[in-house]
Structure 1
Amino acid sequence: MNISITLLLFLLPVLFLLSWRRRCSSRKLPPGSLGIPIIGQSLDLLRAMRTNTGEEWLQERVRKYGPISKLSLFGKPTVFIHGQAANKLVFSGDSSKIANKQTASIRAILGDRNLLELSGQDHKRVRDSLVSFLRPESLKQYVGKMDEEVRKHIELHWRGKEKVAALPLMKNLTFNIICSLLFGMEERAEKEKFLQNFQEMIEGMWSIPIKLPFTRYSRSLRASSRVQDLLKELVQEKKVKLEQRTATPQQDLITCLLSKRDEENKRVVTDKEILHNIMLVMVAGHDTSSVLMTFMLRLLSKNPAVYKAVLQEQEEIAESKTSGEPLTWEDLAMMKYTWRVAMETLRMVPPVFAGFRVALKDIDYGEYLIPKGWQIFWASSMTHMDENIFPEPSKFDPARFENQTSVPPYTFVAFGGGPRICPGHEFARIETLVAIHYLVTQYSWELCSDDHYIRDPVPVPTQGLLLRIVPKKEK
């Protein structure tokens, strides 16, 4: 009896060790190399993006290593995954296993309490607060204000010009819309001060986090600090106005977030979370919408039949309005073809090239292990340009989105997907449709620069997409 017990106690650790080794041997790391410490493949990826060969760079990895591979990006060991299943894991994976986590450079510049960094109940709490302002029911009342901003922009920056650089102008427009509608900031000088620091801040978001005076990363950190100081002043002003009851909760996004209270009358969103999420909204709204509008102008100039169909739809809406009458929510609902053009533009030129998550636990994915603590890297173009999902992917064809239920889930991810769909997608839709309406009904244009663009990290066309513009006669 004693011998049996002794033998059993001796064998148990041996059996456990053998079982553990067998289990580990079946959970191998994906193929690939982590490269040089800290730098890894970061410079190669950034170089590929800035020569607009990022998709080819990733495709080469797929050809070499298969659907999953390991590498090192921005100082962290990383697993690259792609395809419909990968997108589903990224956007609707088990929150106990996978969480939002951006690169060290993005986290340092935007702050660690923004929506891209939060998970679980914190993510839901802050997201719900943002969505309460950005949902369609709330945004309906701001269509007239967007209309006013677009008209003012065209009067200032387009009227009387022979040539314009589209991307800088679209960035100017979206930044002014964000400042006016989301932050309640009307003074032009105040906006210009923000814009100068903001543009310097975003330049280093995709950079190797080496803090030396001459690096992009360091310049962006300094600009981020200045932006945060300006925003802190703005938030304090909103607090005072709320206390004095000279502001209403739905007046702008900052006031809305400050007004959110739980059942015990405690603030739902902290000052730090408000600050960091304002910065996130600034970056997301400024870059994505401006890139979408710019590349819509580019693709419309290259596709006369699509341009003609958009023009016809927009002229019918314009003819139903009296002179100077602003667009309404109902007008936007009629712009179905124009929004399909926008969706196809986003498919072909997604403003967000790729994104990151973090594994909170060991994850079995296919035949491989994604270790706890590693970054997960995904790229939207991998499904957007997959010919098995979108036939002839290089062809610009808005008809792909006539019946959106025919698009397989988690394959078109310009706005994310599932529970992690971008809370600002409706805001982007409204400002894009309003801007395109006035541009297409008031001007015709042709490209003056070549058709190339780079990613830095968003798409940037040569010369900012230089256009020769001709005003249309007012009817």
Structure 2
Amino acid sequence: MAIFVHYLSILLISAVIFLLLRAYRLRRLRLPPGNLGLPFVGETLQLISAYKTENPEPFIDERAKRHGSVFTTHVFGEPTVFSADPETNRFILQNEGKLFECSYPGSISNLLGKHSLLLMKGNLHKRMHSLTMSFANSSIIKDQLLVDIDRLIRLNLDSWTDRILLMEAAKKVKRNNKSLVGLGPSRLSSESKMALLITFELAVKQLMSFDPGEWSESLRKQYVLVIEGFFTVPLPLFSATYRRAIKARREVAEALSKIVKERREEYEKGERKNDMLGALLGGEWEEDQLSNEQIVDFMVALLVAGYETTSTIMTLAVKFLTQTPLALAQLKVSCWKMSGTDFKGKNHRTVVKLLDDVIDTSLPW
């Protein structure tokens, strides 16, 4: 009993010292008013709970009302300043790279990798961003991209045969207008899952020239676990989700490392492919080659960056088209006219214009 009391006293004293030191350090930083919540955890649980509901705004509204439109909290392992003030946000965005520097919490950085494009700064970031844009805008990719999109959508729509109607699925989205970010698989509707699947398969195809199959599906499942780790308490000891995310990140890195190694050997033998990995292995990097680890982290970031955002836009496009009968009717007519098109040359420009119109329809969100 005495030993238990002794250790409990040490624990309480340590907690008090920790809280005092944290409060002193934050006062020196002159942060905006706010509440840091529990030690280590902060207010992460409240934020995660809010964003898993249909109405996450109260998390910010309640704190803005209590502390002001710019307030301090503690989420995902770090003190964080939230801004709900439009003028402040505009000032920050206009001065990014000058007065402000873009960064991510350490817990997310661990999952992305230290060489991730999202974490790069300075000249290296500019070079990698330029390479990415050059690849995305190349004529070879533009011509092949729509062909791949068409093929993947047809492939996945075939799996819906005798199971679900697209219009009925769209009505379900209409009733459940919410972001896909942070939602578990059981809470996603069929069309949302399909959008996520198509987005990932297309990204893998453009990055590494892999068609949908057992390998890409295994990689996708690991990616889902990694992304789930973004929205949890970043303490491996207490969070099974974060532990799974860390483990999945290692397995993703191992799978991609194997591919990068094989492709580098092929590249040195003169075998080239017109994908993102081929651009990273060659081109402007001939004399200053990226390491395998750098390439892996870069590809991890590209897959993560487009996975949720693109699939969300795809799902919302279906939702808003069902709310705009005229646009939907015009889209149907255009699709019938382009039936059998090869998506190249003049046809490519027509399809891109049509896609732009569909995206514009999704913008009300």
TM-score range, shorter chain: 0.7 to 0.9
1:253 CA displacement: 0.9
* Partner SS, residue 119 of structure 2: coil
1:343 CA displacement: 2.0
2:196 pairs with 1:175:
no
2:234 pairs with 1:212:
no
2:225 pairs with 1:200:
yes
Compared CA separation, residues 310 and 152, structure 1 to 2 (3 A): same
* Partner SS, residue 100 of structure 1: coil
Q: Taking CA–CA contacts closer than 8 Å with sequence separation of 6 or more, which of the two structures ends up with the larger relative contact order?
A: 1
- Among all aligned residue pairs of Structure 1 and Structure 2, give the percentage whose two residues are the same amino acid: 23
2:348 pairs with 1:328:
yes
Q: Which moved more, 1:291-300 or 1:177-186?
A: 291-300
Compared CA separation, residues 78 and 335, structure 1 to 2 (3 A): closer
Q: For 1:367-406, list aligned pairs within 5 A.
A: none
2:275 is matched with which residue: 245, 252, 274?
252
**Aligned twin of 1:337:** 357
1:44 CA displacement: 1.0
Q: Which amino acid aligns with 1:312?
A: A
Q: C-alpha separation between the residues in 1 aligned to 2:114 and 2:351?
A: 39
1:227 CA displacement: 0.6
Compared CA separation, residues 88 and 121, structure 1 to 2 (3 A): farther
**Aligned twin of 1:380:** none
Q: For 1:275-290, list aligned pairs within 5 A.
A: 275-290=296-311
Q: Which runs of 4+ in 1 moved over 6 A?
A: none
Q: Which amino acid aligns with 1:216?
A: T
Q: C-alpha separation between the residues in 2 aligned to 1:295 and 1:240?
A: 42
Q: For 1:19-168, list aligned pairs within 5 A.
A: 28-135=30-137, 137=139, 139-141=141-143, 142-155=145-158, 157-162=159-164, 165-168=190-193
* Partner SS, residue 117 of structure 2: coil
Q: Which amino acid aligns with 2:253?
A: Q
1:130 and 1:257 in contact (8 A); partners too = no
* Partner SS, residue 245 of structure 2: helix
2:315 is matched with which residue: 281, 289, 294?
294
1:214 CA displacement: 5.4
**Aligned twin of 1:427:** none
1:213 and 1:219 in contact (8 A); partners too = no
**Aligned twin of 2:335:** 318
1:232 CA displacement: 0.4
Compared CA separation, residues 283 and 227, structure 1 to 2 (3 A): same
Compared CA separation, residues 331 and 178, structure 1 to 2 (3 A): same
Compared CA separation, residues 40 and 55, structure 1 to 2 (3 A): same
2:249 is matched with which residue: 221, 224, 235?
224
1:213 CA displacement: 7.3
1:28 CA displacement: 4.6
Identify unmatched segments of 5+ residues in structure 1: 1-24, 349-475
1:106 and 1:205 in contact (8 A); partners too = yes
1:89 CA displacement: 4.3
Q: C-alpha separation between the residues in 1 aligned to 2:349 and 2:150?
A: 11
Q: C-alpha separation between the residues in 1 aligned to 2:85 and 2:228?
A: 29
- How many aligned residue pairs are there? 312
Q: C-alpha separation between the residues in 1 aligned to 2:73 and 2:196?
A: 34
1:166 and 1:294 in contact (8 A); partners too = yes
**Aligned twin of 1:265:** 287
CA displacement 1:141-166 (0-9 Å, x = unmatched): 222222222222222x2233236611
TM superposition score normalised by structure 2? 0.77
2:257 and 2:293 in contact (8 A); partners too = no
Q: C-alpha separation between the residues in 2 aligned to 1:94 and 1:175?
A: 30
1:77 CA displacement: 1.4
CA displacement 1:372-414 (0-9 Å, x = unmatched): xxxxxxxxxxxxxxxxxxxxxxxxxxxxxxxxxxxxxxxxxxx
Q: C-alpha separation between the residues in 2 aligned to 1:86 and 1:225?
A: 38
Which structure is higher in helix share? 2
2:204 and 2:216 in contact (8 A); partners too = yes
1:215 CA displacement: 1.8
1:138 CA displacement: 5.8
Q: Which moved more, 1:86-95 or 1:145-154?
A: 86-95
Compared CA separation, residues 123 and 171, structure 1 to 2 (3 A): same
Measured on the aligned residues, the alpha-carbon RMSD in Å equals 2.6
Q: C-alpha separation between the residues in 2 aligned to 1:258 and 1:134?
A: 16
* Partner SS, residue 36 of structure 2: coil
2:70 and 2:85 in contact (8 A); partners too = no
2:64 and 2:70 in contact (8 A); partners too = yes
1:298 CA displacement: 3.3
1:211 and 1:217 in contact (8 A); partners too = yes
1:178 and 1:282 in contact (8 A); partners too = yes
Q: C-alpha separation between the residues in 1 aligned to 2:154 and 2:114?
A: 37
1:31 and 1:65 in contact (8 A); partners too = yes
Identify unmatched segments of 5+ residues in structure 2: 1-26, 170-189
Q: C-alpha separation between the residues in 2 aligned to 1:108 and 1:47?
A: 23
